[in-house]
Structure 1
Amino acid sequence: MPRKVDHRERRELLADALMRLAAARGLEEVSLRHVAAEAGVSTGMVQHYFRTKDEMMTFALGMVMDRISERSQAAAAPVTPRELVRGLLLQVLPLDETRRLENHVVLAFLAYAAVKPSIASGLREAAAEMRRFLADQLRATGVDSVDPERAAAGLLALVDGLGLQLLSRQYAEEDAVAALDAQLTLLFGRP
């Protein structure tokens, strides 16, 4: 009897190989052939699951976003909107090897999308969804002193900047977390 194939698992195997290559070489250097070699499978198998490099990259980016969401949901149940926002944004910052790899992939994807705007729509949608979520949490606190939409955009910009500083080893992890906490205190008040 033939073995049942888990197609999602295979796609994730290939996306993980893509992420390792993107972190090491950048997306412009990644091909279907490179991914096949990194994953230890045939190029034909990669082509079976992804017709193009862009399709594979879009899947990998979606997988990164899903993993961030899963980690933030798996953390201890937050009690306040501030704790919910903090927990999510800490999952975005490159504070461990997994998150560093994911940040390298997102950065490589951003650079690639800058020269190939047709694939940037998934990234725009993910960022818009994150901004909406953050703005909703700010609204839930009833704070009138800030525009929730602009404050949400500012939080994402802060985390992006802190992430770059962490990836380039120009900022210590504890300093990045302290900077995030300081901004959260400005927006939400003391915990």
Structure 2
Amino acid sequence: MPKRVDHQQQRELIAAAVMRVAATQGLEAVSLRHVASEAGVTAGMVQHYFSSKDAMMKFAMDAASTRIGERMSMLIDTLGEQPAPKELVNAVLTALLPTSEPGAADDGRVALAFMAYAATRPTVAEDLERSNAGMREFIAGLLRQAISDGQAPASLDPDSTAAALLALTDGLAVQMLSSNLPAETAIAALGAQLDLTFAADHSQEHP
């Protein structure tokens, strides 16, 4: 009787190999041959599941995004019931940093490689654009809540501030991966910016 093939398992095996190659050897090393060697399969099998490098990178980025989402959920769960908007934003952005959490550094390298890869490929960039837009809107929503609750200045622009916070986080992640910026320094820098962002609004207080 022919052996039953678990196609999803095979795809995940190959995607994991893509991520390892991208994380340890760089984006330029992601090829059918290198990925097949890393996964312990034939180049033909890799091509069967992923018709192009774009497809391999997208699947690997989806897997990395899933793990990042899981880390976000874990951090949010530690906040207890009804956390403040500032705590939620801090948890979400901290999960994007390549800290010492298991797999975080590799996921960060894959994300960085994927951003560079997508920069010159408009069709690949579409998914990244949607993901980033969703993240910006989520953070902007929390900022609006904070403004409404008097936990952030009324003058704050939620949309541009959300974009700036994500850009800061991306920049810190790049510094951590490329310049050995210590995680504690990156987390402190993010925290300092959040302190400024979520400064209590005293403009409506009366003497």
Please, what TM-score do these two structures have when normalized by structure 2?
0.83
- Larger-gyration structure (1/2): 2
1:105 equivalent in structure 2: 110
User: How far, CA to CA, are the matches of 1:127 and 1:92 in structure 2?
Assistant: 12
**Pick aligned residue for 2:186 from 176, 180, 184:** 176
Counterpart for residue 30 of structure 1 = 30
Opposite residue 169 of structure 2, the aligned amino acid is V
- Deviation, 1:138, is 0.8
Quickly say closer, same or farther: Cα 1:77–1:7, change in 2 above 3 A.
Answer: farther
User: Which consecutive unaligned segments of at least 5 residues does structure 2 have?
Assistant: 201-207
- 1:5 deviates by 4.2
- Out of 144-153 and 108-117, give the one that drifted further: 108-117
Q: Does the aligned pair in 1 maintain the 2:98–2:173 contact within 8 Å?
A: yes
Structure 1 gap segments, 5+ residues each: none
Q: Does 1:21 align with 2:21?
A: yes
Q: Normalized per residue, which structure has more helix?
A: 1
1:73-128 deviation per Cα after TM superposition (whole angstroms, max 9, x unaligned): 13324312222111111111011262221121122122222232321111111111
How many residues matched? 190
Specify the alignment match of 1:90 in structure 2. Answer: 94
Q: Give the secondary structure class of the aligned counterpart of 2:41.
A: coil
> Equivalent residue of 1:14, what SS?
helix
> Contact 1:162–1:176 at 8 Å: present in 2 too?
yes
Number of the residue aligned with 2:135: 130
Query: Identical aligned pairs, as a percentage?
Result: 50
CA distance in 2, matches of 1:135, 1:103: 23
DSSP-derived class of the 1:37 partner: helix
Measured on the aligned residues, the alpha-carbon RMSD in Å equals 1.9
Distance 1:52 1:138, change over 3 A: same
Q: Report the residue type matching 1:132 in the other structure.
A: E
Local SS of the residue matching 1:57: helix
- Residue 72 of structure 1 and its aligned partner are, at CA, apart by 1.0
- Whichever residue aligns with residue 88 of structure 1, its letter is V
Match of 2:41?
41
Change (3 A) 1:48 1:153: same
1:121-154 Cα shifts (integer Å, max 9, x gaps): 1111111111011111111112323111011001
Change in Cα spacing, 1:136 to 1:4, as seen in structure 2 (3 Å) is: farther
CA distance in 1: counterparts of 2:3 and 2:163, whole angstroms: 48
CA shift digits 1:18-67 (9 cap, x unpaired): 11111223223311221111011122221222111111111111111111
| CA distance in structure 2 between the partners assigned to 1:65 and 1:188 by the alignment | 27
The residue type paired with residue 133 of structure 2 is: A
Q: Is the 8 A contact 2:98 2:108 kept in 1?
A: yes
Give, as a single letter, the amino acid of the residue that structure 1 aligns with 2:36: A
1:28–1:112 Cα contact (<8 Å) kept: no
Which deviates further from its counterpart, 181-190 or 158-167?
Answer: 181-190
